Amino acid sequence: MKHILIILSLLLLSSPLFGQEYGVLYQYETSSGIQWETFGDGKVRTEYEGEIRNGKPDGFGILIWFYGRKYVGNFKDGKMDSQGMFIFSSGDKYEGEFKEGKKHGHGTYTFHEGSKYEGEYKDGEYHGQGTFTFTDGSKYEGEWKDGKPWNLTIYDKNGNIIGKWVNGVRQ
């Protein structure tokens, strides 16, 4: 009986239930929006490899833009969603949460020269509590609003307070 349960579990987990499949799709931009097709050339088209539902990326996969960007993570209805890692062609990298294709929730954005922001995002912008650390060790720490410093403290590389932002105004 135990062996039958194990075999049934493996069959259920490995079969494409509920329309879920695995494959490669290519992105086309049309007048009616983004379309996903099973044909294309990754040298000139954005290419997706991973789980597919209803002809769109849905589940875990890798999206590679022909000009060097790359996203590895979860998709929902064709958009980056939940957790993932986005690597920009510049060398910048974002690891964290996404919602409908935008940075949303907690994440870390590391710039190619070494500075980084770690904290909350909303609709692709710094929003909520976060820390921006510069390559020299100085940092902005506190609250961000719509991508701008809001209520935060500015520290030098030795941890000394050298300034503040209060309600979006530098003090």
Q: How far is CA 87 from CA 93, 106, 108, 130, in A?
A: 5, 17, 12, 21
pLDDT tens digits for range 105-130: 999 999 999 999 999 999 999 999 99
Nearest Cα neighbor of 27 from 60, 66, 61, 54 is 66
Nearest Cα neighbor of 142 from 134, 157, 153, 133 is 153
pLDDT tens digits for range 17-66: 555 799 999 999 999 988 999 999 988 999 999 999 999 999 999 999 98
CATH class of the domain at 90-171: mainly beta
Among the ranges 5-9, 17-21, 79-83, which has the highest mean pLDDT value? Answer: 79-83
Structure tokens at 52: 């597919």
Per domain, the residue ranges of the chain are 22-89, 90-171
The answer to pTM > 0.85 is no
Instruction: Judge whether residue 135 has pLDDT over 80.
Output: yes
Q: Do the Cβ atoms of 64 and 57 come closer than 8 Å? A: no
Q: Give the rounded percent of residues in the chain with a pLDDT score beyond 90.
A: 79
